[in-house]
Amino acid sequence: IDMEEKFKYSEAIAELNRIVQEMQSDRCSIDELSAKTARALKLIEQCKARLTETDADIARLFAQIDEDK
């Protein structure tokens, strides 16, 4: 997922799953481990930010519903 492309949570999760599978396999060399770990951390940060943003959006929507009562 390129930072300039629109972030898609489902694609980030799929990529994280692939990274984990590769890291757990015999195919992942020690040379690749650092790069894969760095990529995984970046994806986790992006996912966390999206979840936080979504949580705030939902909280605002519920607050509007409560105000309209």
Residue 5 has what pLDDT? Answer: 53
Q: Identify the residue whose tokens are 């690749």.
A: 32
- Model confidence pLDDT, tens digit, residues 30-68: 889 999 999 999 999 999 999 999 999 999 999 998 887
- Model confidence pLDDT, tens digit, residues 1-11: 444 457 899 99
Residue 1 has what pLDDT? Answer: 43
pTM over 0.85: no
Residue 2 has what pLDDT? Answer: 43
